[in-house]
Structure 1
Amino acid sequence: MDDFFALTAKELSALSAEELQAALAIALSAMTAETYDAAVIDAYLCALEKKDPMPSFSQLPLRYPSKRSDTP
């Protein structure tokens, strides 16, 4: 695969979170098992994490229903 999807960190940081998600999806769909480049994917994921970080598990509320509504 050529370096079409290997953008610089500066180029990636100029993209919005939505643009990064779309570009990552395009890059993943264009890559094959032979052309997969983990460094390219990692660069997209790192840039996306900076723009729109995922919450850590400790920040997510854990709620379990006390009783399922479909049980008698």
Structure 2
Amino acid sequence: VHITQGDRDGRAVMVSWVTASEPGSSTVLYGTAEHKRKFKAEGRVTYYKFYNYTSGFIHHCTLRHLQ
């Protein structure tokens, strides 16, 4: 998992991860505590090919309006 700043105001983060064999979901559940995940963000998935190489499935999801 890789986390980067997601906007100029510092109220969003972008979460990225790779899955090897199948795309799966790009949904992230989050909240203010472990058992209070009341927010959901839908991400996107992509992959790339370079000659004979095919990457894993690369997921990016931006969590916005953070406190």
TM-score normalised over the length of structure 1? 0.21
Higher strand share: 2
